Amino acid sequence: MIRTTYEDTLGKNAGNCVYNQRHLFDKILNIWLPPKSYKKIEPLVLIDKGDPCDFSSHKEKIVVPKTVKQEYRAERTRRFFTQSYMQAAWEDFIFINDLKTNKVLKKSTQNAERHENIHNVIDECIEKNWKIIKQLHARCPLYMKRNNVRSEKWDKTTKFRMQYKIRREMFTALEDIQACYVEKRSEDLIKIAEGELGVRYRIHPSYLMPRRNEFIVEICNYIALAHFDDIIKSSTLVNSHDYEDYDLLKKLLGIYYETKSIFKPYVFGDQSTYRDPAEPNTSYMTFRNKIVRLERRLSQKPMLKIEQCHLLYEMARANLEQLRPDEAREIGEKMVEEADSISYLWLFLGKLTICRADILQKQFKDAGKGMNDVVSMVDIFKSQELKMVIEHAFEIVKRLS
């Protein structure tokens, strides 16, 4: 079996040569081993010998997270690899891998032991299968069977097929976004748009998406229009006689955030029965995870400025919901700088974000100056409903200042 493995991996001539010279392996290994006088370098941080608080000399390992494209390519390579060696059983192996990210099987505080046992079984199955696949790869590697003529032809046909497939998916997504905009379903629109911006155009190269820039600009414009609809919708549900000026102003501009209790009422036999009383504040954890995710997307280059404006606006909204007007104002100023020369839609939303932050801080003079710029821009969009909301808010700011 060892000899056939050599022949399958290295060929008949090289396999026989290595097999006949196997008695020299120990000598070759001794040459590469370090001498006996060599002393292993000990770590700089020694808690038991040195200063227990000496952490300044320890080198921190910076782990760079994989981009969406890298994760997609690794997953595609893994599927191709398992399909080549496991043949009909590859779907079962992919199913076992997908169980790792299954929401139902995620660990929770209520039944941690049961979930831990399930995850241990899944990890053991994956490890055994990968061991078998690596053995098969060692005996018959994929690169031994490459045919240049067939591979070039396959690449060309695959390229055209993928271009057509991605083009259809792009237009289908745009049709769904347009339907959501017409039906005033802003949440569904933003959900579809996030999937397209965060995943689809990140995993496909430019030669498969020749019109990717137009696609991104169109989606970002629809997202901005959806935010306009949210402003108009929030104003239609407000009765001006039920609120004072300051509360009415926050309602009109969509910055009236009610504090929601994180505790659910007890229902016997429900999950709330087993709630941990020392459970942390989930709203703040959700906010931090969202900010980290948006910052990670902002760090991925190259990126169009209009998409940067969209991500900055989402960060500003999250900060406003957590009553952090200083951070929201700073992000709004960055947004105005980016959108100044590319889009009136996002420039308007950036200036409106700064006004919202000033209103939360009750800086009505600064808010009045900002609202003056916003009122001068609202005529560009030719929306009487939006104009009425902004002018009404501007009048309230004047009274409060």
Radius of gyration of the chain (CA): 30
pLDDT tens digits, one per residue of 319-341: 988 888 899 999 999 999 988 88
What is the model's pLDDT at position 262? Answer: 43
By residue count, the chain amounts to: 401
* 232-250: average pLDDT: 75
Please state, in angstroms and rounded to a whole number, the distance separating the CA atoms of residues 360 and 354.
10
Please state, in angstroms and rounded to a whole number, the distance separating the CA atoms of residues 326 and 173.
36
What is the model's pLDDT at position 267? Answer: 60
Q: Is the pLDDT of residue 42 over 80?
A: no
The pTM (predicted TM-score) of the whole model is 0.68
Q: Is the pLDDT of residue 274 over 60?
A: no
Q: Is the pLDDT of residue 175 over 90?
A: yes
Burial of 273 (0-12, 13-18, 19+ CB in 10 A): exposed
* Structure-model confidence comparison of residues 148 and 55, the more confident one: 148
Mean pLDDT of the chain: 79
For 60, 66, 161, 397, the CA distances from 168, given in Å and listed in that order, are 46, 28, 11, 48
Residue 223's pLDDT band (boundaries 50, 70, 90)?
very high
* 129-142: average pLDDT: 82
Residue 250's pLDDT band (boundaries 50, 70, 90)?
confident
Dihedral of CA 215/218/224/229: which sign? negative
Q: Is the pLDDT of residue 342 over 70?
A: yes
Range of 196-205, 271-280, 291-300 with top mean pLDDT: 291-300
User: DSSP alpha helices (H): ranges in 87-205?
Assistant: 90-98, 112-139, 148-182, 186-195, 201-203
| Tokens at 86, concatenated | 């496991």
Please state, in angstroms and rounded to a whole number, the distance separating the CA atoms of residues 27 and 14.
20
Which residues, 6+ apart, have CB-to-CB distance to 327 below 8 Å? Answer: 316, 319
Please state, in angstroms and rounded to a whole number, the distance separating the CA atoms of residues 274 and 267.
10
Virtual torsion, Cα 186, 379, 314, 229, nearest 10 deg: -10
Please, what is the end-to-end C-alpha distance for the chain in angstroms?
88
What is the model's pLDDT at position 60? Answer: 63
What is the model's pLDDT at position 199? Answer: 80
What is the model's pLDDT at position 331? Answer: 93
pLDDT tens digits, one per residue of 50-104: 555 555 555 566 777 777 888 888 888 888 888 888 878 888 888 888 887 776 6
* 199-226: average pLDDT: 86
Q: Are 358 and 401 in contact (CB under 8 A)?
A: no
Residue type, 343: S
Residue 106's pLDDT band (boundaries 50, 70, 90)?
low
Residue type, 401: S
Please state, in angstroms and rounded to a whole number, the distance separating the CA atoms of residues 98 and 275.
28
What is the model's pLDDT at position 301? Answer: 73
Which residues, 6+ apart, have CB-to-CB distance to 194 below 8 Å? Answer: none
What is the model's pLDDT at position 298? Answer: 86
In three-state secondary structure terms, 304 is coil
Please state, in angstroms and rounded to a whole number, the distance separating the CA atoms of residues 201 and 208.
10
Residue 221's pLDDT band (boundaries 50, 70, 90)?
very high
What is the model's pLDDT at position 263? Answer: 47
Range of 74-83, 93-102, 183-192, 250-259 with top mean pLDDT: 183-192
What is the model's pLDDT at position 47? Answer: 47
* 13-23: average pLDDT: 74
**CB-side neighbour CA atoms (13 Å) of 384:** 0
Q: Is the pLDDT of residue 349 over 70?
A: yes
* 383-390: average pLDDT: 87
What is the model's pLDDT at position 260? Answer: 45
Tokens 């043949």 sit at which residue? 87
pLDDT tens digits, one per residue of 150-164: 777 777 788 888 888
* Structure-model confidence comparison of residues 401 and 45, the more confident one: 401
Which residues, 6+ apart, have CB-to-CB distance to 26 below 8 Å? Answer: none
